[in-house]
């Protein structure tokens, strides 16, 4: 009983806001700050979003974990990356950047940002195999679980679903600091919340050992948080990697495969229909993006764009002019039928003549294509701002064989 109340008290202290300011990380810069670019300031409603030169702020990351996340209020972004210390050891770090004030804060030991809670202050993150919460105001951290490689925030922001390696599916309630074990199967994996915050979709362990280190065969199921009742959703079986809603509660984008390749697909729960979108060699032959507002999925590759509905039917197909350049990182606008994407060299391997890429926008049907960046650079992630009037891009410099995360740019949609 004493341990229970201690947990509740610690959780309450963690969640409370603090008036103390954030303290910059003590790690010394390893390279000289890059020359500061001309600051670009664009108005978004009553707020002003600013470009941020990260090296000038003392942030020197040489790699990025592909986890740029916009805060619920739309004023800050969080992401993680890594650098080498003086002894050439790899160090991981999360960056929290306020796009209105320009303030940048770093937090050491973060290997993946998983998302923001609705309060706009607390983030869910991973440190190697440990799942934790971070209060960005007072820098306090609360460990949820070890041996955990993924966590998911409920839509109401009150619970975290996760799996412990080899021990099954769990739910953590933030306010009470209670953990509830839902299953005990070795390979139950990747919980995704239903819109009501009362059920989870997940990849379920079917108790059949596949051998060769692949673990157990998996299916797809949903489970009730209250009763732990499990319902098998489809006859599809295999090894699955991740999932996301196309239409919350009704249709999902599924990524499956083990060491024999990656396959994308669409699972429509209403019709119990699974549509295979084909093998994705090296996970970069084609790219997939989802628009949960319209219930559409976009499959893109080298100028080709195929649009599928939530059932798996192809609704439209078109080609961009530059077919020799990869088009990827598609992201739908929050306020209309516009697509932002990146076109050019993907990770510097697909076209040696192109050094970098450009941020582009188009209509959903591929018309009215426009460049938002006049010159080629490496745009490693793009997100829309809350109004749909700007693109926020995380950029990287590549000089003499060494990469450097250079900054955040605000690109106006004109």
SS3 for the chain is CHHHHHHHHHHHHHHCCCCCCCCCCCCCCCCCCCCCCCCCEEEECCEEEECEECHHHCCCCCEECCCCEECCCCCEEEEEEEEECCCCCEEEEEEEEECCCCCEEEEECCCEEEEECCCCCEEEEEECCEEEEEECCCCCEEEEECCEEEEEECCCCCEEEEEECCCEEEEEECCCCEEEECCCCCCCEEEEECCCCCEEEEEEEEEEECCCCCCEEEEEEEEECCCCCEEECCCCCECEEEEEEEECCCEEEEEECCCCCEEEEEEECCCCEEEEEEEEHHHCCCEEEEECCCCEEEEEECCEEEEEECCCCEEEEEECCCCCCEEEEEEECCCCCEEEEEEECCCCCCCCCCCCEEEEEEECCCCCCEECCCCCEEEEEEEECCCCCEEEEEEEEEECCEEEEEEEEEEECC
pLDDT interval class at 284 (50, 70, 90): low
Cβ distance 318 to 365 under 8 Å? yes
Is 90 exceeded by the pLDDT of residue 275?
A: yes
Q: How many CB atoms lie within 10 A of CB 110?
A: 27
Give the pLDDT confidence score for residue 396 in this predicted structure. Answer: 94
Query: Who contacts 249 (Cβ-Cβ below 8 Å, separation ≥6)?
Result: 194, 195, 196, 269
> Which residue's entry shows tokens 């610690």?
10
Pairing of strands 390-399, 63-64: unpaired
Give residue limits of the domains in the chain. Answer: 49-119, 320-413
* Least trusted range by pLDDT, from 82-86, 252-256, 265-269: 82-86
Give the pLDDT confidence score for residue 385 in this predicted structure. Answer: 96
Cβ distance 285 to 277 under 8 Å? no
Give the pLDDT confidence score for residue 32 in this predicted structure. Answer: 27
Please give the order of strands across the beta sheet that includes 159-164. 148-153, 159-164, 168-173, 178-181
pLDDT interval class at 9 (50, 70, 90): very low
pLDDT single digits (tens) 310-352: 999 999 999 998 766 788 999 999 987 899 999 988 765 444 5
pLDDT interval class at 304 (50, 70, 90): very high
Question: Whole-number mean pLDDT of the chain?
Answer: 87
Give the pLDDT confidence score for residue 84 in this predicted structure. Answer: 87
Q: How many CB atoms lie within 10 A of CB 257?
A: 16
Is 50 exceeded by the pLDDT of residue 96?
A: yes
Distance CA(218)–CA(211), nearest Å, equals 13
Is 90 exceeded by the pLDDT of residue 212?
A: no
Comparing 209 with 23, the larger pLDDT belongs to 209
The mean pLDDT of 173-178, rounded to a whole number, is: 96
Is 70 exceeded by the pLDDT of residue 31?
A: no
Tell me what percent of the residues of the chain surpass a pLDDT of 70: 85
pLDDT interval class at 253 (50, 70, 90): very high
Is 70 exceeded by the pLDDT of residue 280?
A: yes
Comparing 164 with 347, the larger pLDDT belongs to 164
The mean pLDDT of 187-197, rounded to a whole number, is: 97
The mean pLDDT of 60-67, rounded to a whole number, is: 94
The mean pLDDT of 203-217, rounded to a whole number, is: 93
Which tokens sit at 250? 């009704």
The HSE-up count of residue 190 (CA atoms within 13 Å, CB side) is 18
pTM across the whole model:
0.86
Is 50 exceeded by the pLDDT of residue 136?
A: yes
The mean pLDDT of 261-276, rounded to a whole number, is: 95
Comparing 129 with 195, the larger pLDDT belongs to 195
Comparing 168 with 348, the larger pLDDT belongs to 168
């Amino acid at each position: 009983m004493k341990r229970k109340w201690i947990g509740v008290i610690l959780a309450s202290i963690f969640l409370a806001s603090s008036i103390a300011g954030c303290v910059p990380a003590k790690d010394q810069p390893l390279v000289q700050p890059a020359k500061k670019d001309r600051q670009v300031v664009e108005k978004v409603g009553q707020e002003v979003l600013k470009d941020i030169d990260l090296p000038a702020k003392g942030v020197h990351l040489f790699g990025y974990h592909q986890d740029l996340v916009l805060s619920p209020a739309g004023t800050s972004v969080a992401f993680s990356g890594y650098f080498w210390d003086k002894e050439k050891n790899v160090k991981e770090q999360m960056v929290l950047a306020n796009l209105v004030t320009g303030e940048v804060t770093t937090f050491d030991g973060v290997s993946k940002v998983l998302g923001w809670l609705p309060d706009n202050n607390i983030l869910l993150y991973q440190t190697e195999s440990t799942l934790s919460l971070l209060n960005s105001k007072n820098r306090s951290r609360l460990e949820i679980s070890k041996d955990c490689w993924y966590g998911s925030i409920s839509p109401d922001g009150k619970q975290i679903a996760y799996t412990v390696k080899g021990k099954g599916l769990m739910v953590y309630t933030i306010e009470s600091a209670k953990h509830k074990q839902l299953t005990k199967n070795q390979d139950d994996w990747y919980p995704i919340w239903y819109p009501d915050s009362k059920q989870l979709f997940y990849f379920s362990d079917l108790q059949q050992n596949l051998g060769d280190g692949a673990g157990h065969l998996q299916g797809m199921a949903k489970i009730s948080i209250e009763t732990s009742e499990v319902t098998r959703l489809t006859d599809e079986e295999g090894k699955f990697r991740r999932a996301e809603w196309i239409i919350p509660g009704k249709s999902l984008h599924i990524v499956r495969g083990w060491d024999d390749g990656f396959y994308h697909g669409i699972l429509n729960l209403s019709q119990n229909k699974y549509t295979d979108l084909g093998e994705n060699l090296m996970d970069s032959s084609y790219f997939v993006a989802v628009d949960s507002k319209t219930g559409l999925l976009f499959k893109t590759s080298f100028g080709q764009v195929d649009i599928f509905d939530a059932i798996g039917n192809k609704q439209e197909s078109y080609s961009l002019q530059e077919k020799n350049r990869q088009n990827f990182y598609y992201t739908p606008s929050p306020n209309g039928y516009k697509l932002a994407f990146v076109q050019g060299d993907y990770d510097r391997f697909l076209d040696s003549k192109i050094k970098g890429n450009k941020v582009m926008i188009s209509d959903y049907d591929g018309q009215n294509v426009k460049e938002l960046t006049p010159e080629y650079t490496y745009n490693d992630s793009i997100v829309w701002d809350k109004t749909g009037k700007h693109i926020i891009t995380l950029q990287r410099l590549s000089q003499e064989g060494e990469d450097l995360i250079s900054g955040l740019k605000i690109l106006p949609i004109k």
